[in-house]
Amino acid sequence: MVDTAPAYRYVQERLGVDLKAVDAAAELASFGVDSLSLLELVFEIEEKFSVKLDEDTPPPRSCGELVALIERLAATKP
C-alpha cells in the first residue's frame, strides 16, 4: 500500500484545504483554485512526489476528483 499522506499534507499546506475533511463534491474553485493554480498544483505534485500524469487526463474540478488523482498517481509510483 502506498502512503498518500504526504500528498494530502502538501495539498492542505498549499491550498489550506483538508481534502479528506471536505465534501468530495466541493468544487476546487470554491477554495480559490483557478485553472492556472490547478495546473501549477498538479505539476508541483508530479515533481514533489516523482509521479507523472497522462497528458489526456482531464484536470480535477472537485475535491473528490483531486483525491482520486492523488491516489491514482501514488498507486503508479514505482
pLDDT per position as a tens digit, 21-62: 788 888 889 888 898 988 888 888 788 777 788 888 888 898
Q: pTM for the complete prediction? A: 0.75
- The CATH superfamily label for domain 5-76 reads ACP-like (1.10.1200.10)
Contact (CB, 8 A) for 10 and 17:
no
Q: What is the pLDDT of residue 1?
A: 52
**Which residues contact residue 59 at a Cβ distance below 8 angstroms, ignoring those fewer than 6 apart?**
35, 38, 39, 42
Q: What is the pLDDT of residue 11?
A: 79
> Residue 27: phi, psi to the nearest 5?
-70, 135
Boundaries of every domain in the chain? 5-76
pLDDT top residue among 40 and 78: 40
Indicate if the pLDDT at residue 78 is higher than 70. no
